[in-house]
Amino acid sequence: MSIVPHIVGWLVLLVGVMVSIGLHELGHMIPAKKFGVRVSQYMVGFGPTVWSRTKGETEYGIKAIPLGGFVRLVGMMPPAPAGTRRGTGFWSELVADARDASVAEVRPGEEHRAFYNLSTPKKLVVMFGGPFVNLLIATFLMGVILVGYGLPAVSTTVAQLSECVPASVTSTATGNDCEEQPAAPAAAAGLEPGDEIVAFGGTDVTSWQQLVGLINESAGRESEVVVLRDGERTTLEVTPARTDRPVVDEEGAAVLGADGEPLVEPGGFVGFSPLQVREQQPLWRVVPEVGNMTWQTATMVATFPVRLADAATEAFTAEERSPDSIQSVVGVARISGEIMALDEAILDRVMFFLSLLASLNIALFVFNMIPLLPLDGGHLVNALYEGGKRTVARVRRAAVLPGPADVARMTPVAYVVFMILLGVGGILIVADLVDPVRIT
């Protein structure tokens, strides 16, 4: 098997992720500059700088490790409140150093341009701008997929005919299986591949699910079927055979029971498989679909400890890795490579990749909204806390409003969260190397 498609998939994913991260950071930088905050750096990636160029007062660049990015907003942390003494413990020193480093970035006479001096609404706009851009990217990509390409659907057009009535719902009804079985009603009635069924039993047919219901209701009874063949309507007579039929979902896929076997119900059998098509969706379907994906991702984040334990258990035991298991960047890259190596039409693979990229952007949105520093959600919570204090002070008609919240005090939390994220990432990377999730 050639490794080239996999490499192409990895590179395409890398570019897609870096563009998404770059746009995320623009979502922070543009409103920050608009509100007068000095932005000293705009970087995509972490670690050593590979390339950079200074334009105006901002250095734009690319770093060696493509696992994130940042914009350096001057004055993220305010000076220590009056009367604050520098502590001597490890965490106290950490807080003081972080505060001093932030204050040192503010040029003399430019205190009004420090981020901490922004009003609460402006802080919220700046910090929410990044995740919001990821949500916009996901919405755009899903719009391309749903409106421009469409979703898989089952039509009422005949794709293939069965030779006979199957002995069981799992039979193929072809070849040697048909030696002692009656001919399939569809073939006996004269249906042909390419026929579009437009009416059955005197009822106009508009969907596959409706047609299945009409066939089941007509089991054992001769019924009139009207097909569109070569642009002309042709009327045939068919008698659906009585048999147990598998229960199917809206896409025509069999529904499985708790034992893993197909669920069955009494019904009728005609003997043809429908043509699989793609139906372009209306524009209004995009936002609900993105909302549903966001909710599912948020549910995964809420149950993350359990899912992490499941992934580790499945990876390091004989238990099979679940297809919906959480993955690291290594696992996502592997899937991207598998997508490009699929034996499918290039457009199908492109849409599959766009769907993956849309999911990643939704994950970036949800993940960054976690209300803990150093994530954007932590800064949003801090801004809301600061605004709440000032609102209470206004209601009480305080002579002096509270100053900016002392964000530096949350530095230990940011360090702990960062270390946890590193540990979780390491576990998932090992799991994806040992027992990766596969789509094929």
Q: Please, what is the Cα angle at 71 between 65 and 73, to 5 degrees?
A: 150
Which whole-number Å values give the CA distances from 171 to 175, 193, 240, 244, in the listed order? 11, 20, 17, 12
Which SS3 state, helix, strand or coil, does residue 40 take?
Answer: strand
Structure tokens at 170: 């799992």
Torsion angles phi and psi, residue 153, rounded to 5: -145, 160
- Kindly report the backbone phi and psi dihedral angles of residue 138, in degrees, each rounded to the nearest multiple of 5, phi listed first: -60, -40
Provide the annotated active-site residues: 25
Do the beta carbons of residue 354 and residue 145 sit within 8 Å? yes
> Residue 184 and residue 174: Cα distance in Å, rounded?
10
Cβ atoms of 215 and 199 within 8 Å: the answer is no
Residue from 135, 26, 121 nearest 366 by CA: 135
What's the CA gap between 266 and 245, in Å, rounded?
6
Select from 379, 377, 360, 381 the least CA-distant residue to 369: 377
* Cα separation, 397 vs 378, whole angstroms: 29
- With vertex at residue 338, the alpha carbon angle to CA 333 and CA 341, rounded to the nearest 5 degrees, is 130
**Based on C-alpha coordinates, what's the Rg of the chain?**
30
Token couple for 166: 């199957």
- The answer, yes or no, to whether the previous bond of 374 is cis (omega within 30 of 0) is yes
